[in-house]
Structure 1
């Protein structure tokens, strides 16, 4: 039985074994509390043997990164500036603790000190690890070398926590505006973001995708490389002025106006209470082109052929005027057949310029020959005249 009592505490408690294949390792610290629970004892050395390796009974696979420390003024119930030296024996897995003042140091009943092995990588296999302690002490019975063991446990590594808080820096963007997606998650997971038309392997907790042109849902897929377990997080970004390849609406579209795209003429259709207005890119009245129009009525100032030099028709209160291409002068109306209630005209002539013609006067009508005002001939099968 050792003259001093040894108790072990760990941080974290319990220690978590490192997970094989993970980028981040489990880091731990061991505190060894040395206490005198009996009579006064002088000690000259305390050696702590650490099991090194990656197995169930090992504490750490890398002894060289383990640092032994001692905190001043922790010796005994009263504050005393007592220092010790903690050094790893060269080429071994033993930490040796000795008094710095002289060859031995006195431990009275109730005295204690804390030795620390800190910031080391914990072995990857769960299980109990045992520290072996060898003490050299001196009391009224003489010098003694005694041994004891203190155990600690390494639990199985915890599952990598799922990522969280997948979010855009802006929930609404304009077309072409920069966007950044962020999330929080372990570096031991592999990350991929899936979006319409593509996928991207990402890391570092942020990614700036190409500017979306329409409302887009992004899916963050986080995969544990060891277990292949996957986590899914989604977020959606709205676009203030979306660009759509096509649009099918089965129940109608409610909108105050429709406009062409940036690369088009940007003509606009505005919906009013009585119908629709067509405007050009300058804001003035625009043009509508169609192969055929089926209308109940047309209200317009004039109608013209497709070419700029075609004839055109205006609609005064009296009826309509047919104009020539070179201005507002009246010109010819050509029809195959006309049924009219009343015809008001100065003359009626045949289709050829040298045909006879009829003029109308207050007393009746005159029939003229092909040229001039000479009287012409009336031909009829039968004539019934009152005079």
Structure 2
């Protein structure tokens, strides 16, 4: 039976076992509280730590050397703590007074041995630490060894906190503009960004504390051309977290567009600078040379079917082609656009209300065999006559 009383405490409580594959291992602090509830005792105390990968082990053998230690002894009468000596012996810590002497524990005195930066072994379970007490009741008496055990719990590894704050640097951009996606998350996760038509793995980053900001820049090749939803997938073992953020595009580029209920827009323009533009006004549509221009543009079509055409003139496509201009109550045919020379009108037949050759409304029919003159437009009144001042054959 030991002369002193031993209690073990941890921070955090309980300790969590480490997990393979994580960027950082689980660490904590172990406190051994030694109290004297009886008569004066002179003692040297040795705390042995179990090392290995098992459920009963506190830490791995290769991590034992990273443990930092200190011990403070408090005399209850003065209430002031003072440092005492801690030495390592294999996987054990021995606490003595200065010069390796036994510590004088008066009634009610206590001591705290602190082990910091303890990397917790990977298997959950109950780790049992053993205490060897070399003590006696008198300063010069013969001390003897007594033994006791203290235990602490190692729980299963804690789940990695989920990432958060997945956002784009700009919620609304122009088509093809670079986009930076950012979020906060643990380095233990493997991250990947998914988007329509592509996916981007995120390079590993090691932050202090294994948690920090991440960002991924989508260059012009992967930048959004239309409203796009980006998905962040974070995985570690069986853990999987999915987050989304959407970037809107002011001037989307579409492969195809099917509008079920029509398209409503004040204007339409080509995709290249300087392309023609359609604008819409009440009851009309206008073609302009380019967006923002006051110069009328050109409309090209194979053919057009319209209920009416209002225009100042009509001309052929080639230079020198005839030209028709419109004036109040009539039309004029010109040899070419800009010319003052009358042009020629070609037709299979011509019907006129007021013929320059008579007042009776006769009809002249021109055909391959010659000319037929009728008394009336529909030919129902028989043939008409031709009157000539002279005739040369």
- Whether TM-score is above 0.5 comes out as yes
Give the alignment's Cα RMSD to 1 decimal. 2.6
Deviation at 1:337, TM superposition (A): 0.5
Structure 2 unaligned blocks of 5 or more: 206-213, 359-365, 367-385
Structure 1 residues 75 and 339: alpha-carbon distance in aligned structure 2, compared to 1, 3 A threshold: farther
- Of the three residues 225, 246, 258, the one matched with 2:256 is 246
Work out which of the residue numbers 309, 334, 342 in structure 2 matches 1:330.
Answer: 342
Give 1:377 shift. Answer: 3.0
Tell me, yes or no, if structure 1 residue 307 matches structure 2 residue 318. yes
Contact 2:55–2:127 (8 Å) recurs in 1: yes
Q: Tell me whether 1:115 sits opposite 2:113 in the alignment.
A: yes
Change (3 A) 1:341 1:36: same
Q: Which residue of structure 2 aligns with residue 360 of structure 1?
A: none
* Residue 213 (1) aligns with residue 225 (2): yes
1:309-351 deviations in Å (ceiling 9; x for gaps): 21110011130010112613222222220111113489xxxx9
Distance (Å, rounded) in 2 between the aligned partners of 1:77 and 1:197: 76
Query: Equivalents in 2 of 1:77, 1:209: separation in Å?
Result: 68
Contact 1:76 1:113 in 2 (8 A): no
Q: Secondary structure of 1:180's partner? A: strand
Say if 1:162 and 1:185, in contact at 8 Å, map to a contact too: yes
CA deviation after TM superposition for structure 1 residue 60, in Å: 0.2
Residues 42, 209 of structure 1: alpha-carbon distance in 2 compared, 3 angstrom cutoff: same
| 1:77–1:112 CA contact under 8 A, matched in 2 | no
Matched residue count:
350
Instruction: Flag the 1:51–1:345 CA change in 2: closer, same or farther, 3 A.
Output: farther
Structure 1 portions without partners, runs of 5+: 352-364, 368-374, 380-387
- 2:104: which partner in 1? 106
CA shift, 1:366, in A, is 8.2
The answer to whether the 8 A contact 1:132-1:148 is kept is yes
- Name the CA distance, whole Å, in 2 between partners of 1:6 and 1:80: 21
Distance 1:196 1:119, change over 3 A: same
What are the superposed Cα offsets for residues 164-192 of structure 1, whole Å, 9 maximum, x if unpaired? Answer: 22211211112333321112222222111
Of residues 130, 133, 136, the one that matches 1:132 is 130
Q: The residue matched to 1:83 in structure 2 has which SS? A: strand
2:65 alignment partner, SS class: helix
C-alpha distance in 2 between matches for 1:273 and 1:344: 44
Q: 1:69 is matched with which residue?
A: 70
SS in 2 for 1:237: strand
Please tell me whether the aligned partners of residues 30 and 118 of structure 2 are also in contact (alpha carbons under 8 angstroms).
no
**CA spacing shift, 1:272–1:145, aligned 2, 3 Å:** same
Q: Distance in 1 between the 2:154 and 2:199 partners? A: 40
Deviations 1:241-291 (A, max 9, x none): 21222211111111101110126x421111110120110124411111111
- TM-score, normalised by the number of residues in structure 2: 0.83
Residue 146 in structure 1 maps to residue 146 in structure 2? yes
CA contact (8 A) 2:85 2:100 kept: no
For residues 10 and 295 of structure 1, the distance between their equivalents in structure 2, rounded to whole angstroms, comes to 89
Give the 3 Å change call, closer, same or farther, for CA 38–329 of structure 1 in structure 2. Answer: same
